[in-house]
Amino acid sequence: MKRYVLSTVLMTMFLSPAAFSQEYAEFPQEAEPLEQMELQMQRRNMELEMEERETDAKFHQEMRKLELEERRAHLERQRKAHGHHKPMHPLLVVCLIVHILVAIWVFQDIRRRNCGSGIWVFVALLAGVFGAIAYAIVRLGDDAKKKA
């Protein structure tokens, strides 16, 4: 029984390639060109797909570059627009310092003369030089009353 099974398996192994080769032997000239044409068509389709993908990738890359350039230009415009306000900051700092110095002068003058009110310090702090001028006018009026 073992010999029978073994011989059957060996026979099928040797006979099956021969059977397949006979099938292909009937159409040897027709099968190869068709297969080659199909392979060429598949290859051409794959090449077209690759070209399309490359074109899409280049398009998206160019779009990203354009978006980046647009963002950079927008940021540059914003920087330039805000850049015009920079010279104003030192001017504000100088005005603040002048207001504080005028308020200190008014406060020291009030303490030295022992007359006047603390409201003038607040006015000088808010109005700056104009507050100091108003204080000086009122002070001159007080001096004229005291001398008379």
pLDDT by residue (tens digit) across 54-85?
999 999 999 999 999 999 999 998 888 776 55
Give the count of domains, the chain.
2
Same domain, yes or no: 45 and 96: no
Token pair in block for residue 108: 């020291």
**Tokens 């160019």 label which residue?**
62
Closest CA to 106 of 137, 143, 141: 137
Q: Distance between CA atoms of 138 and 102, rounded to whole angstroms?
A: 16
Helix and strand counts by DSSP (H, E) for the chain: 5, 0
Identity (one letter) of the amino acid at 77? R
* Cα separation, 86 vs 103, whole angstroms: 27
Average pLDDT over residues 110-129: 86
Regarding whether 105 and 50 lie in a shared domain, the answer is no
Q: Are residues 69 and 14 in the same domain?
A: yes
The whole-angstrom separation of Cα 85 and Cα 4 is 104
- Give the separation between CA 111 and CA 105, rounded to whole angstroms: 10
pLDDT at residue 97 above 60?
yes
- DSSP class of 27: S
Q: Do 73 and 10 share a structural domain?
A: yes
Contact 107/121 with Cβ under 8 angstroms?
A: yes
| pTM of the complete model | 0.41
For residues 7 and 64, membership in a common domain is answered with yes
* Residues 73 and 117 reside in one and the same domain: no
Q: Give residue-wise pLDDT tens across range 33-42.
A: 888 899 999 9
Confidence label for 139 from pLDDT (cuts 50, 70 and 90): confident
Task: In whole angstroms, give the CA distance from residue 23 to residue 31.
Answer: 11
Domain residues for 67? 2-83
Q: What is the pLDDT of residue 53?
A: 96
CA 43 – CA 49 distance, rounded (Å)? 10
Listed residues 57, 83, 109: the one ending a domain:
83
Q: Which residue is listed with tokens 């009030």?
A: 110
Identify residue 106 by its one-letter amino acid code. Answer: V
Q: How far apart are CA 126 and CA 120, in angstroms?
A: 10
